[in-house]
């Protein structure tokens, strides 16, 4: 018996709520005007970047080898600049003539492997040992010098003060089979006059 008034009340409330909902014509719900869509937004981002770089100069086989320029401080007073393209497996051009002085070599690695640019004063063949390995000792004795290997897509420079003479340009980076690029034809001749 006592439930009845409660139910009535609930019904009344429900009806009232329904009435309210029904009475809403939506007039004050939307204010979509022409200004809509022109939003001004400000985005502030804070980024923190931490980078750790490790470089070892003894990874000629890695394609990531980074450029390590030679004598960049001399570049400002270079008397000649020689642009070279290092490819798999040749230099372009392979024959270079330049006047003696301070010479900057701008070497672009356009290949898919790391390449270096080494010079053998006096020209001629690059010495190899009986085991078919580059003869480092003989190269050192001959005064060979080099722009260390760097990876594809990079351009690296080396500046030297060179006296007149002939120099063999060569690359001793090894391919996957352990054969030097020099043996694959990556050599050239530099004539300094």
Residues in the site for Cu ion, rule: CB under 5 A?
A: 115, 171, 173, 181, 186
Distances, alpha carbon 32 to alpha carbons 25, 37, 158, 189, in Å? 16, 9, 66, 76
CB atoms within 10 A of CB 151: 20
- Our CB check for Cu ion shows the closer of 101 and 146 to be 146
- Our CB check for Cu ion shows the closer of 65 and 115 to be 115
- Our CB check for Cu ion shows the closer of 120 and 181 to be 181
Length of the chain: 193
Q: Cβ contacts of residue 89 below 8 Å, gap of 6+?
A: 111, 171, 175, 181, 184, 185, 186
- Our CB check for Cu ion shows the closer of 78 and 115 to be 115
Write down the least CB distance from residue 189 to Cu ion, Å. 16
* Beta partners for residue 118, in sequence order: 146, 170
- Our CB check for Cu ion shows the closer of 102 and 189 to be 189
């Amino acid at each position: 018996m006592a439930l009845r008034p409660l139910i009535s009340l609930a019904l009344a409330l429900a009806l009232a709520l329904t009435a309210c909902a029904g009475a809403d014509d939506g007039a004050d719900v939307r204010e979509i005007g022409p200004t809509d869509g022109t939003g001004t937004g400000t985005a502030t981002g804070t980024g923190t970047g931490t980078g750790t770089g490790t470089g070892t100069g003894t990874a000629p086989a890695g394609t990531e080898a980074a450029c390590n320029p030679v004598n960049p401080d001399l570049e400002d007073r270079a008397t000649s600049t020689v642009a070279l393209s290092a490819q798999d497996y040749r230099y372009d051009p392979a024959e270079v003539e330049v006047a003696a002085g301070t010479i900057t070599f701008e070497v672009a690695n356009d290949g898919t492997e790391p390449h270096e640019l080494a010079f053998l004063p006096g020209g001629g063949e690059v010495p190899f040992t009986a085991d078919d390995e580059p003869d480092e000792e003989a190269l050192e004795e001959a005064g060979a010098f080099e722009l260390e290997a760097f990876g594809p897509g990079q351009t690296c420079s080396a500046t030297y003060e060179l006296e007149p003479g002939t120099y063999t340009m060569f690359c001793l980076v090894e391919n996957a089979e352990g054969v030097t690029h020099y043996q694959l034809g990556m050599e050239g001749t530099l004539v300094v006059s």
